[in-house]
Amino acid sequence: MALGLQHLERVCGDNGAVPDIEVTYADALSDRVARAESQRAALTAAIEETRAARSLMFADDEHDPDGSTASLDQARDVALLEQTERTLSELAEAQRRLASGTYGRCELCGGTIPSERMLARPETRRCVVCAATEEGRRRGRS
């Protein structure tokens, strides 16, 4: 969040005028970071709760009717936590791009990413066309 504020201080200049879209982007990034941090805290607590509960259960998940459910819950929460950590990393990178003035530019074609996309996915690095092309390539390799 601090990177967005530093950028806003830099672009304000002497008259204090800030481009509205820059403020909107900084706010969208800050909101998304706050939600992701909240999700990370909830998932971390859920993982710890599951670990604590499992320590009171049988060690043999195969024969314990609740063991497999607890294992699945923990695996799901760990996967969601990993995704949340990736999202936070992407958001931090987006804040750096905002501070450097490259936010809203597609990293592949260099074109402007529409503001609607930037507001829907503030961490995005690609325009819709390049993102779809990249996704198609990735699916083709699978």
Asked whether residue 37 falls in the same domain as residue 95, the answer is yes
Asked whether residue 64 falls in the same domain as residue 122, the answer is no
Asked whether residue 123 falls in the same domain as residue 97, the answer is no
Tally of domains in the chain: 2
pTM for the whole structure: 0.73
One-letter amino acid of 14: D
Asked whether residue 67 falls in the same domain as residue 121, the answer is no
Q: What is the pLDDT of residue 51?
A: 86
Residue range 46-68, pLDDT digits in tens: 999 988 877 776 555 555 555 56
Asked whether residue 45 falls in the same domain as residue 14, the answer is yes
Burial of 118 (0-12, 13-18, 19+ CB in 10 A): buried
Asked whether residue 61 falls in the same domain as residue 125, the answer is no
Paired strand residues for 132:
none
Q: What is the pLDDT of residue 139?
A: 87
Residue 120: give the domain boundaries.
104-142
Q: At residue 7, does pLDDT exceed 60?
A: no
Contact 2, 91 (CB under 8 A): no
Q: What is the pLDDT of residue 141?
A: 74
| Alpha helices, H only, 1-142 | 2-12, 20-55, 67-100, 115-120, 128-141
Asked whether residue 78 falls in the same domain as residue 120, the answer is no
Asked whether residue 58 falls in the same domain as residue 84, the answer is yes
Please provide the average confidence, as pLDDT, over all residues in the chain. Answer: 83
Asked whether residue 96 falls in the same domain as residue 126, the answer is no
Asked whether residue 97 falls in the same domain as residue 111, the answer is no
Task: Please state, for a pLDDT cut of 70, what percent of the chain lies above it.
Answer: 77
Separation of alpha carbons 54 and 113, rounded Å: 47
Residue range 64-105, pLDDT digits in tens: 555 567 788 889 999 999 999 999 999 999 999 999 999 999
Asked whether residue 98 falls in the same domain as residue 111, the answer is no
Q: At residue 120, does pLDDT exceed 80?
A: yes
